[in-house]
Amino acid sequence: MENLFLITILFLILFEQYKTRVSREKVPIRALKQYVHR
């Protein structure tokens, strides 16, 4: 169970880094999603 806990923490850290990187690159995610849903 401890391994699962550590994996979850690592995943959250990676997700936060990904979000900050995307916002730094100023990618129009909303427009991208609208384009995909078309």
Give DSSP secondary structure letters for 1-38.
-HHHHHHHHHHHHHHHHHHHHHHHHT--HHHHHHHHH-
Quote the CA–CA distance of 20 and 35 in Å, as a whole number: 22
pLDDT at 15: 92
Instruction: Give pLDDT, residue 31.
Output: 74
> What is the domain extent for residue 24?
2-37
Confidence class for position 11, pLDDT limits 50, 70, 90: very high
Note whether 30 and 23 are within 8 A (CB): no
Per-residue pLDDT for 28 more than 80? no
Domain count, the chain: 1
- Average pLDDT estimate for 19-32: 73
